[in-house]
Amino acid sequence: MVVKIGLLGFGTVAKGLPFLLKENQPKIRQLAGLDIEIGKVLVRSQEKADALRSQGHDYDFVTSMDAILADETIKIVVELMGRIEPAKSYISQALKAGKHVVSANKDLIACHGQELIQLAQQHQVMFAYEAAVAGGIPILRTLSESLMADKVTRILGVLNGTSNYMLTKMVEENWTYEKALASAQALGYAESDPKNDVEGIDAAYKLAILSQFGFGMTIRIDQIHHQGITVIRPEDVAIAKELGYVIKLIGDLQETQSGIWAEVVPSLVPIKHPLAGVNDVMNAVLVESVGVGQSMYYGPGAGQNPTATSVLADLMHISRNLLEGQAVKPFNAYQRPCRLAKAEEILSAYYVSVVVLDASAQLAQLADLFEAHNACFDQVLEGQSDQETLLITVITKAITRQQMAKIQSAIDDSNAFALTNIFKVLGESDEN
Ligand code: HSE
Q: What is the predicted pLDDT for the residue at 384? A: 78
Percent pLDDT > 90 in the chain is 91
Q: pLDDT tens digit string along 174-233?
A: 899 999 999 999 998 988 789 999 999 999 999 999 999 999 999 999 999 999 999 999
Confidence (pTM): 0.96
Mean pLDDT, rounded, for 354-364:
86
Say if CB 207 and CB 226 are below 8 A apart.
no
Q: Is the CB of 135 under 6 A from ligand 1?
A: yes
Nearest residue by C-alpha to atom 1 in ligand 1: 190
Task: Please tell me the distance from the alpha carbon of residue 3 to that of residue 203, in angstroms, as a whole number.
Answer: 33
The atom number, within ligand 1, closest to the CA of 132 reads 8
Q: Name every residue whose Cβ is closer than 8 Å to that of residue 134 and which is 6 or more positions away in sequence.
A: 157, 159, 206, 283, 285, 297, 299, 301
Mean pLDDT, rounded, for 293-302:
97
Least confident of 35-44, 321-330, 419-428: 321-330
The atom number, within ligand 1, closest to the CA of 196 reads 1
Nearest residue by C-alpha to atom 4 in ligand 1: 302
Task: State yes or no: pLDDT of 401 exceeds 80.
Answer: yes
Q: What is the predicted pLDDT for the residue at 76? A: 98
Could you tell me what percentage of the chain is helix, strand and coil, using 3-state DSSP and rounding each to the nearest 5?
Answer: 40, 25, 35
Strand ranges across the sheet with 74-79: 61-62, 35-42, 2-8, 74-79, 100-103, 127-128
Distance 190 CA to ligand 1 centre (A): 6
Task: State yes or no: pLDDT of 99 exceeds 70.
Answer: yes
Q: What is the predicted pLDDT for the residue at 360? A: 79
The atom number, within ligand 1, closest to the CA of 302 reads 7
386: confidence class by pLDDT, cuts 50, 70, 90 = low
The atom number, within ligand 1, closest to the CA of 165 reads 5
Task: State yes or no: pLDDT of 432 exceeds 90.
Answer: no
Q: pLDDT tens digit string along 63-96?
A: 999 999 999 999 999 999 999 999 999 999 999 9
Q: Is the CB of 301 under 6 A from ligand 1?
A: yes
Q: What is the predicted pLDDT for the residue at 128? A: 98
Task: State yes or no: pLDDT of 430 exceeds 90.
Answer: no
Distance 394 CA to ligand 1 centre (A): 33
Q: Is the CB of 162 under 6 A from ligand 1?
A: yes
Find residue 353's DSSP bridge partners: 393, 421
Task: Please tell me the distance from the alpha carbon of residue 92 to that of residue 101, in angstroms, as a whole number.
Answer: 9
Q: What is the predicted pLDDT for the residue at 72? A: 97
CA dihedral over 348, 406, 221, 249, signed as positive or negative? negative
Q: Ligand 1 pocket: which of 163, 195, 202 to mutate (most atoms <8 Å of CB)?
A: 202
| Active-site residue list | 206
Q: pLDDT tens digit string along 190-207?
A: 887 899 999 999 999 999
Q: pLDDT tens digit string along 313-323?
A: 999 999 999 99
Distance 123 CA to ligand 1 centre (A): 31
Report helix angle 201-215 to 106-122, nearest 10. 40
Q: What is the predicted pLDDT for the residue at 16? A: 96
Q: What is the predicted pLDDT for the residue at 191? A: 86
387: confidence class by pLDDT, cuts 50, 70, 90 = low
Distance 142 CA to ligand 1 centre (A): 20
Q: Ligand 1 pocket: which of 107, 197, 249, 264 to mutate (most atoms <8 Å of CB)?
A: 197
Q: pLDDT tens digit string along 1-37?
A: 899 999 999 999 999 999 999 999 999 999 999 999 9
Task: Please tell me the distance from the alpha carbon of residue 430 to that of residue 105, in angstroms, as a whole number.
Answer: 40
Mean pLDDT, rounded, for 103-112:
97
